[in-house]
A and B are shown apart, each in its own frame.
Chain A
Amino acid sequence: MTVLGATHVVRTGSFSMRVEVRSVVVCTVLFAATLVVATWSIMVGDFPLSVHQVLAAVFGDGGDDAEFIVQTLRLPRALTAILVGAALGMSGAVFQSIARNPLGSPDIVGFQQGAAFGAVLVIVTWGGSSLAVAGGAVVGGVVTALLVYAFAWKQGLSSSRLVLVGIGIGFTATAGVDYMITRANIYDVQRAAVWLTGSLNGRSWDHVRTVGIALAVLAPLVIIGQRSLDRLDLGDDMAAALGVRVNRAKLGLVLLAVGLAALAVAAAGPIAFIAFVAGPIARRLTNSPSACVVPAAFVGAFVLTAADLAARRVLAPTELPVGIMTAVIGAPYLLWLLTRRARTGAL
């Protein structure tokens, strides 16, 4: 296993980056697994397709029926799952690293609920386009993040206070969403309700575009920021000594991570527990001390794709919203984490 422990340094001009072989292997395996699961997910349904039909339809020569089913219905759904999972996983890893606590992920501390509030507000007030809904989700997520940090701040940031304040604000945001649902007219309610279950059902290329652009813009910035993230992990003073502008770096990273989470929420609704589980799993797989933002993205993509397949198939022909499946997987993990950390006195 010595090969897996090795690291390589990539240099181009003044830019250099350390690459761990094990991380690369993990990411490649996860990516392959995600593609397999996604293909499987495109194959099954009311109108089953073979592998050949799927591949043919993806590349545009599979016959009209298969092409319609794959290109209009199932491929956008599968791609949305992959992209949303990646965005949530990456966002969760950044938050958990900054909070130095696996409980700091955006679904636990209420940011996703805040993003949902913003999105629903846009849907019921202006009935806006998917771009406007995405904007609402981002604003909602950022405002919630600021509120949570502001209320949790009291001579420094205690992470238990952060988590508890986040839970409280999450409850309030959820009540706000429920209130708007009561007030709105029935067509908007239907649209909002489908979206709020955290479902990947009926995702179109529109949704793929929203998350795709978000990832394309924000993910590289996060990867550049990982260097500061790893130094912040040594403690604020040490990071400052190593040349990190602590407060500016933290604020920038938080905004990037909120943006990723909020756009994922805008596309697929508030899917819980993906952001929460991806980071720790990635760390375990890569056995790396760093924040693992890239492996976490691959883990998130794989877990969400697999959860969506499971949600569709477990009780077939009934298709469950994927949010139910992620809660069924994620909640026991949270409980396990809780008991384990309690035993070691870390909570």
Chain B
Amino acid sequence: MTVTTAPDLDTDRGTGLTGPVTAPQRTGVGRRTIGLVALIAVTTIAVLLSLAVGAKPIPLGPVVDALFAYDPTNTDHLVVRELRLPRTIVGLLVGGALGVAGALMQAVTRNPLADPGILGVNAGASFAVVLAIWWFGFTAVDDLVWFALVGAAVTSVVVYALGSIGRGGATPVRLALAGAALSALLFALTRAVTLLDTATLDQFRFWAVGSLSGRDAEIAWSVAPFIAVGLVMAVGVSRSLNAIGLGDDTATALGVKVHLTRGMSGIAIMLLCGAAVAAVGPIGFVGLVIPHTMRALFGPDQRWLVPGCAFGGAAFLLLCDTLGRVVARPSEVQVGIMTAAIGGPVFVVLVRRMRMVRL
């Protein structure tokens, strides 16, 4: 079957569904299996690079030794285990979460431009976190993650509601604009709070930039359960989302509970985005770039797309992070800047390919 990246989701998902529902084409499945294996290999390479590259480059041999034959007296091993491993684990978790969240958002809203950054969900979670630090004095990620979840949930509902008012429902341009407007407002309020209170600014500063640097294992442990639940839910709803891609009426006729599926997807998005923002701050465009790339590889079947986006997002974020350590030596470029620098042009290309709605 021909696979396209054309973000015309309705027809795409239509062809994708006929694959698995009717006799699955062996070649298609084979191709996708190979694709997934290759993706896991890329992710492994990304992990090794992330462990090896940095202010002090460490060859792969000692890196592998540090993982499997740890010697606490060896400084190389210490760097890998104590500094780079936690950072890499956080990157894996967050990248996977953002990739899958993007895939879910694009499927639920049937909008090729959906992304936690563009739709304002990151801004909402950030603002909630700043409020938590400033108003309630929380500082531990364990506590902040709950605020990030609430912030992500409230903003996604508000953006979706504002974007779907009127005839024609939530078109891409309406959602993108509602997200941009709400982001501008929330980031302005966030900045106002951080300017008001230097103590909050100090807490928030190392967090606000969307960076993996200085993330310890504790953070990974705090957010991992949320991301795990979110990923399981994403896998759970993938079959129903395939049906919803055919339109709500057809999905209902196929026995899919449309509202339940949408609700579950919404909760999964909230868990994934909230946990990601709580761990590393707002990072945009992973949720945009990865699902589109993965659709080129796996086709539009959501059941392949979810694992594909999990690995693809993790690999992409780690590679961006590693690249960010190299391009501006001796300082580091935050991973959020790297993803935006790559994601912005991809966004423009996607817009050019879209069939434009009237305006």
Contacts and interface: CB of A to CB of B under 8 A. Distances in A.
A330 B331 contact: no
B348 A169 contact: yes
A335 B178 contact: yes
A342 B185 CA distance: 20
Contacts of B351: 151, 161, 164-165, 168
Contacts of A327: 184-185, 187-188
Contacts of B328: 179, 182-183
Interface string A155-177: 00011110111011111111110
B359 A347 contact: yes
Interface string A253-290: 00000000000000000001100000000000000000
A307 B172 CA distance: 32
Interface residues of B, number: 50
A338 B162 CA distance: 8
Given A163-B177, A168-B347, A339 B166 contact: yes
A179 B100 CA distance: 27
A335 B166 contact: no
Nearest to B210: A178
B26 interface: no
Contacts of A161: 351-352, 354, 356
B335 to A, nearest CB: 11
B6 interface: no
Contacts of B358: 160
Contacts of B356: 158, 160-161
Interface in B145-196: 162-163, 165-168, 171-174, 176-178, 180-182, 184-185, 187-189, 191-192, 195-196
A270 to B, nearest CB: 12
Nearest to A176: B341
Nearest to B192: A324
A347 B164 CA distance: 11
Contacts of A339: 162, 165-166
B10 interface: no
A318 interface: yes
B181 A347 contact: no
B343 interface: yes
- The residue among B162, B192, B337, B351 with the most chain A CB atoms within 10 A of its own CB is B351
A165 to B, nearest CB: 5
A19 to B, nearest CB: 33
Contacts of A338: 162-163, 174, 177-178, 181
B345 A172 contact: yes
B192 to A, nearest CB: 5
A160 B177 CA distance: 10
B321 to A, nearest CB: 14
A320 B348 contact: no
A38 to B, nearest CB: 23
Contacts of A321: 191, 195
B281 to A, nearest CB: 13
| Interchain residue pairs A-B with the least CB separation, the first 6 | A172-B344, A342-B166, A327-B188, A331-B185, A175-B340, A168-B347
25 contacts: A151-B352, A158-B356, A163-B173, A163-B359, A164-B113, A168-B344, A168-B351, A170-B344, A172-B340, A172-B344, A173-B344, A175-B337, A182-B331, A183-B331, A315-B192, A321-B195, A327-B184, A328-B188, A334-B177, A335-B178, A341-B166, A342-B168, A342-B174, A345-B166, A347-B171
Given A175-B341, A178-B340, A179-B328, 9 more contacts: A101-B359, A108-B180, A160-B356, A161-B356, A197-B191, A324-B195, A334-B184, A342-B166, A345-B166
